[in-house]
Amino acid sequence: MARSSRLPSLDAPRGRTGMLSRNPQPSRDRFGRFSEAFARGMGTSGFLIGMTVFVAVWLAWNTFAPVPLQFDPRSTNFTLLTLILSLQASYAAPLILLAQNRQDDRDRVQIEQDRQRAERNLADTEYLAREIVALRMVVADVSEDIVTKEVLRNEIKALLEQLDDRAATPRVHADTTER
């Protein structure tokens, strides 16, 4: 009985696609991919160095430049810079959380696959252990029936002695044929 493609998969949370579906395929969620790229970029040393340089240049320009050229003067406590950094933080936090949620979903699927793989490995190991025990039992039974070299030598010696005895005793033929 074939499953309808319209029925929901019970192994995936509602509204989630991609890695959680039965047939893994690339996620079509552009915003999710964007949030992951954004979070990945914010976690790099390049971003931190670039942000530090940006803020340092901003502060230096608005502190040491002539007053008519300052766009965010020190006298207003760098209000524009504060607003820009607050806006960046207000967008960064939810995007990072979204990226973490997507990673949690992938981790959950990976953990389930690892658990299934471990169960298969355990079953295979148990099967192999049973096979080894069975082989040991067969080898033990066969080893009882194996003829050792010493037994074989004694048997051959006994047969040779019988042959020697036959060769030593003259044969008496009841040959009554007439010549």
79 domain-assigned: yes
Measured from the Cβ of residue 99, the count of other Cβ atoms closer than 10 Å reads 21
**pTM above the 0.85 mark?**
no
pLDDT of residue 176: 54
pLDDT single digits (tens) 106-126: 999 999 999 999 999 999 999
pLDDT of residue 1: 46
176 domain-assigned: no
pLDDT of residue 172: 63
141: pLDDT strictly greater than 80: no
Kindly report the average pLDDT of the chain as a whole number: 81
pLDDT single digits (tens) 62-111: 999 999 999 999 889 999 999 999 999 998 888 888 888 888 999 999 99
145: pLDDT strictly greater than 90: no
pLDDT of residue 6: 56
6 domain-assigned: no
pLDDT of residue 111: 96
* Cα Dmax for the chain: 156
99 domain-assigned: yes
147 domain-assigned: yes
Angle between helices 79-145 and 45-64 (to 10 degrees): 170
151 domain-assigned: yes
Total tally of structural domains belonging to the chain: 1
Domain interval for residue 59: 30-166
Average the pLDDT over 39-57 and give the result.
Answer: 91
Residue 12 near residue 21 (C-beta atoms within 8 A): yes
The 3-state DSSP composition of the chain as helix, strand, coil percent (nearest 5) reads: 70, 0, 30
46 domain-assigned: yes
Of the candidates 116, 107, 109, the residue with the CA atom closest to the CA atom of residue 12: 109
18: pLDDT strictly greater than 60: no
pLDDT single digits (tens) 150-175: 888 888 999 989 888 888 887 665 55
pLDDT of residue 7: 56
50 domain-assigned: yes
